[in-house]
Structure 1
């Protein structure tokens, strides 16, 4: 088999459905399989999902194993020569795999490949391309007001958003490689429950002599954090992951290790104080009524739209066209919603799922 798509899911059932739909459309152009490893979700009805997507392989866990372990289980069960690690809150274009496979085969000692990730309204995710963490750029990432450098930045600013170039650190929401390389570098380090494991595996590939690449001419939508609740537990897991990475790669460099360790500890305390002071219960999302949605039947209709909640229907547009439209018409005045085939809801930004 040519390709295996491994998706680790945890709740967010509507986002998973549209992700699976886009994956199935993409696999019409490439022999492959979809593997869903679920971390004991309470909100996903897998009996219903199996009826909608009967050809998908479901590996249902009895506990939440975390992102790293669950992905390793998925890859172990994968039959494909190539592996795509994919978040469940993503949408991919139909032509993606022919491009990725051709690109991977054209390079010597290529490791992982990442792509241009955007949110629902076309805003670029800068973490799509990053440099190897150092004391300097990591500290400036933790304390953004100190982030002045463009040549030694946490994000790989020297590579353009739409450029294709070597890139040391990619994001775990989308990682493409071969099963052989994934297993050779040890997969994801199972000590990470969530966060940091993408930096770790990227760095592991580079240390093993491979070159990772960022491919900016391919765009994937990532709703980002859809299944993650940002509470005290989230902050604890995130900063513990950073400590694991430090101990693994920087403990021999005493000065860097101590500087970064102190910076992470301070940042954790700052974030916890901010979290405790903020009144989370009063932070409400802007509600959008289904009657406020503006359905677009053809591209020409979009050119005259302003200050609108635009629905892009996958029954009228391909996912590739939807991603292109969102990128092209990105505006602070426009919110995009996506309707997947045969669904009774649309999905927009800020975790908005609207029944129709």
Structure 2
């Protein structure tokens, strides 16, 4: 039998030292390990713990990632049969841990057992509770509790009708002292890390109940708890905000009202966007009318009063929902960027403007000001975009914080399930709440490094969908899942299939029917024929304008480089372009003269993976070079490469010959098109991305090229360059 004892410390060192002292006095006769996870305490606690308790395993975190994350960190790192999670403000009385271990051994259905908590004066703390209800929350967390101090609801919640001197099953236990069976974690999972502080114990116990395990209170395991209740002090403090936020997380995850709102999120989003669009249209109209009146001196025609545009305004309010709906502006889109929303709104307003001009021409007797309509279109586009993107950004913010997520199950077995779960849990802003996985067969299992709970097998899937209110399934399996997809879609559940990027092309696909035969149609590469001509024309026009407009900046940079260090202003380097053809690429010199020689001495410090070479604080950079690289000003001479035809404005970055020598067949695909000054991976993370991630984005760009995508990438490049995101 192995026991793992976990304590999480954040600026509570005096109490923690007392807790460690009482643990040392236990004289446990089982194989055990005490782990202290320090969440970047500033009270010098780590040094004291290391000095006074050298046998304790100390994990020092560089930041405070929350209580649940710290507990999970220790559980993942160290194996054991049982885990005892203690708050640092606990004093363990003699025999308490032995009593908990003995109870777990003789009670196989116990997933969690909690001890009897006592105040320092020996009085009882009510450590076991019934699950919260809305009336209980109002009484516990608002002024209503003071109006009704003897409420029976509170008495029932705190289980005051029982003397707490006998073991019994309860709904949940305070997280100050919990012993967990590791086997239960395989079916229930670790603590939910969206709970930064508080309610992680309620959620864990709730999931134990749903998973068929029981939660017990054990009075023989007596613990002294120096409970300070920071969340109850003052009207509003940081700890109370954590408590309220965690409470909202719990009810957003399990509440019926939250489930109803999530179920109809698409309809609610459409109503919100419709309202915002109508506000934007009306604000834009009155703004354009006032601006036209202010500029009257520049026009010959008289300015018409607002009343004259009454029918125009009614027409605008009536047609806006129709046009925007037909163009798909009321559909929720996942992973959308600000440029995508700007293009969608711009397209909608272009159609609106054409309809308005046509309508004003056809309406006899209503010669409306074209200038007013144009100003209206510009203001409406700007205001609609700002209102919509503000709402979308707030929605993404909530999702990143763990709210409004779609309950999701992964179906499959093997390592792919674990990989998918880890990636989706890392990126909560995408919107998935991974509750667990479903085995393809009862015997199947996964490499469960993420402790993803196994909720059942495929035969139980319909019941799991209903019980957990599942809205999405992710299939990470190579088995025949046609029946699963069919049944799930009939239940209104969205189904996604995980594919191997290398085995399935990611270019645009269409489903079509030929002679009654259903087929999947994979379009050929779009960078062909006339599209190449269009891309080249855009390259020539924009690179010429850039070279002319930026000539003064070129001269200033050249002067600064010359003044700081000897050597050429322009750095010439051989790069590999389209179809593996070498060419000379130009850059402003940002390094010392013998940079290539020094590079060989720095190979051990390389921070990039694959064939790339990058060091975040490269000693070869000059002072002006660091500034140039941070804001990508060293790349400006490549507009000449674009004009010559060696490069394009948008495309994969050109590699050096040494990198290409290490490419496999898949990596060589990025050389099928002209390299670019900027590209999809440059605006998606730049140097912060791995080589494999960069390669996938380059190939995706090739197979999904469009003129609008190039323009979007150019627009996204501006803020990335200005703020220096991901630049090394």
TM over 0.5: yes
1:193 and 2:196 are equivalent in the alignment: yes
1:172 and 2:171 are equivalent in the alignment: no
Q: Is the Cα contact below 8 Å between 1:137 and 1:154 reproduced in 2?
A: yes
Identify the residue that residue 316 of structure 1 maps to in structure 2: none
Shift of 1:108: 3.4
Shift of 1:253: 7.1
Residue correspondence of structure 1 range 118-267 to structure 2 within 5 A: 118-126=118-126, 128-142=127-141, 143-144=144-145, 145-146=147-148, 148-149=151-152, 153-225=156-228, 232-252=237-257
Residue 80 to residue 150, structure 1, CA distance change in 2 (3 Å): same
Identify the residue that residue 55 of structure 1 maps to in structure 2: 55
Shift of 1:21: 1.1
Q: Is the Cα contact below 8 Å between 1:29 and 1:94 reproduced in 2?
A: no
Shift of 1:58: 0.6
Q: Is the Cα contact below 8 Å between 1:85 and 1:172 reproduced in 2?
A: yes
For residues 30-58 of structure 1, the C-alpha deviation after alignment (integer angstroms, 9 at most, x for no partner) is: 32110000100000342332121111111
Identify the residue that residue 346 of structure 1 maps to in structure 2: none
Q: Is the Cα contact below 8 Å between 1:110 and 1:213 reproduced in 2?
A: yes
CA distance, structure 1, for counterparts of residue 140 and residue 46 of structure 2: 39
CA distance, structure 2, for counterparts of residue 137 and residue 59 of structure 1: 38
For residues 185-234 of structure 1, the C-alpha deviation after alignment (integer angstroms, 9 at most, x for no partner) is: 12211001101111111111111111100112321011124898956211
CA distance, structure 1, for counterparts of residue 229 and residue 56 of structure 2: 22
CA distance, structure 1, for counterparts of residue 230 and residue 44 of structure 2: 12
Shift of 1:117: 0.7
Shift of 1:27: 4.2
Shift of 1:150: 6.1
Residue 170 to residue 226, structure 1, CA distance change in 2 (3 Å): closer
TM-score, normalised to structure 1's length? 0.66
Q: Secondary structure at the match of 2:25?
A: helix
Q: Is the Cα contact below 8 Å between 1:140 and 1:154 reproduced in 2?
A: no
The structure, 1 or 2, with the larger RCO (C-alpha pairs under 8 Å, 6+ apart) is 1
Residue 44 to residue 71, structure 1, CA distance change in 2 (3 Å): same
Q: Secondary structure at the match of 2:172?
A: coil
For residues 157-210 of structure 1, the C-alpha deviation after alignment (integer angstroms, 9 at most, x for no partner) is: 344222211011101111111222235312211001101111111111111111
Identify the residue that residue 83 of structure 1 maps to in structure 2: 83
Identify the residue that residue 4 of structure 2 maps to in structure 1: 4
What RMSD in Å do the two structures reach over aligned CA positions?
2.6
Q: Is the Cα contact below 8 Å between 1:11 and 1:227 reproduced in 2?
A: no
Residue 237 to residue 157, structure 1, CA distance change in 2 (3 Å): same
Residue 132 to residue 62, structure 1, CA distance change in 2 (3 Å): same
Residue 13 to residue 148, structure 1, CA distance change in 2 (3 Å): same
Shift of 1:14: 1.2
Q: Is the Cα contact below 8 Å between 1:30 and 1:97 reproduced in 2?
A: no
For residues 261-315 of structure 1, the C-alpha deviation after alignment (integer angstroms, 9 at most, x for no partner) is: xxxxxxxxxxxxxxxxxxxxxxxxxxxxxxxxxxxxxxxxxxxxxxxxxxxxxxx
Bigger CA radius of gyration: 2
Shift of 1:75: 1.1
Extract unaligned runs of 5+ from structure 1: 258-356
Residue 239 to residue 45, structure 1, CA distance change in 2 (3 Å): closer
| Number of aligned residues | 256
Shift of 1:65: 0.9
Residue 227 to residue 16, structure 1, CA distance change in 2 (3 Å): farther
TM-score, normalised to structure 2's length? 0.33
Q: If each structure's helix is expressed as a fraction of its own residues, which one has the higher value?
A: 2
Identify the residue that residue 269 of structure 1 maps to in structure 2: none
Residue 184 to residue 26, structure 1, CA distance change in 2 (3 Å): farther
64-73 or 92-101, which moves further after superposition? 92-101
Identify the residue that residue 71 of structure 2 maps to in structure 1: 71
Q: Is the Cα contact below 8 Å between 2:230 and 2:240 reproduced in 1?
A: no
